[in-house]
Chains A and B, each alone.
Chain A
Amino acid sequence: MMRLAVILVGLAFATGMASADDATARGEALFRPCAACHMIGEGAVHRLGPHLNGVSGRTIGTAEGFRYSASLSEAGAEGRVWDDVALDSFLAAPRNYLPGTSMAFRGIRDAEDRAILIAYMIETGGAEAPQGEVAVDPRIAAVLDHPPDEAYGAFLSSECTACHSGGGEGIPRIAGLAPQSFAAGLLAYRDGTREHQVMNMLAARLGDEEIAALAAYFATLE
Chain B
Amino acid sequence: MGFSRRNFLGSAAAVTGLLAAPMIVRADEHARPKVVVVGGGAGGATAARYIARDSAGAVDVTLIEPTRAYYTCFFSNLYLGGFRTYESLGHSYGTLASSYGINVVHDWATGVDRDAKTVALAGGGSVPYDRLVLSPGIDFIEDSVPGWSQAAQNAMPHAYKAGSQTQLLRAQLEAMPEGGTYCMVAPPNPYRCPPGPYERVSMAAHYLKANNPTAKILIVDPKPSFSKQGLFEDGWARHYPGMIERIGPDFGGDNVSVNPEEMTVDIDGVVENVDVCNVIPAQRAGSIAFAAGITEDNWAPVSAYDMSSRMDENIHVLGDSAAQGAMPKSGFSANSQAKVAANAILAALTDSRAFPARFANTCWSLIATDDGVKVGATYEASDEGIVSTGSFISEVGETDELRAETYRESIDWYDAIATDMFS
Do A162 and B417 touch (CB < 8 A)? yes
Do A170 and B420 touch (CB < 8 A)? no
Kindly state the separation between the CA atoms of A217 and B46 in the bound complex, as whole angstroms. 20
Do A198 and B332 touch (CB < 8 A)? no
Most interface-central of A162, A198, A204 (chain B CB within 10 A): A162
Task: Write the chain A residue with the least CB distance to B335.
Answer: A162
Total number of residue pairs linking A and B with CB closer than 8 Å: 90
Q: Is the interface of A mostly helix, strand, loop or mixed?
A: loop
Task: Write the chain B residue with the least CB distance to A169.
Answer: B408
CB distance from A106 to the nearest CB of B (A): 8
B332-345, CB under 8 A of A: which get 1 and which 0? 10011001000100
Complex contacts, A159 vs chain B, CB 8 Å: 336, 339, 358, 360
A111 on interface, CB distance cutoff 8 Å: no
Complex contacts, A163 vs chain B, CB 8 Å: 362, 409, 412-413, 416-417
Kindly state the separation between the CA atoms of A166 and B418 in the bound complex, as whole angstroms. 10
Q: Is the interface of B mostly helix, strand, loop or mixed?
A: helix
Complex contacts, A158 vs chain B, CB 8 Å: 50, 339, 343
A77 on interface, CB distance cutoff 8 Å: no
Interface with A: B236-244, B285-293, B300-308, B388-396, which one?
Answer: B388-396
- Chain B contact-residue range equals 35 or more
Do A162 and B413 touch (CB < 8 A)? yes
CB distance from A50 to the nearest CB of B (A): 24
CB distance from A139 to the nearest CB of B (A): 22
Complex contacts, B358 vs chain A, CB 8 Å: 156, 159, 205
Partner of B416, one of A151, A156, A165: A165
B411 on interface, CB distance cutoff 8 Å: yes
Known: A164-B416, A166-B415, A205-B389. Is A198-B374 also a contact (CB below 8 A)? Answer: yes
Q: Kindly identify, within residues 365 to 423 of chain B, every residue whose CB is under 8 Å from any CB belonging to chain A.
A: 374, 376-378, 389-392, 394, 405, 407-413, 415-417, 419-420
Known: A162-B332, A170-B411. Is A197-B392 also a contact (CB below 8 A)? Answer: yes
Interchain residue pairs with CB less than 8 A apart (7): A158-B50, A162-B336, A162-B416, A170-B407, A197-B376, A198-B392, A201-B391
The interface of chain B, by Cβ under 8 A from chain A, is: 50, 54, 332, 335-336, 339, 343, 352-353, 355, 358, 360, 362, 374, 376-378, 389-392, 394, 405, 407-413, 415-417, 419-420
The interface of chain A, by Cβ under 8 A from chain B, is: 106, 151-152, 154-156, 158-159, 161-171, 197-198, 200-202, 204-205
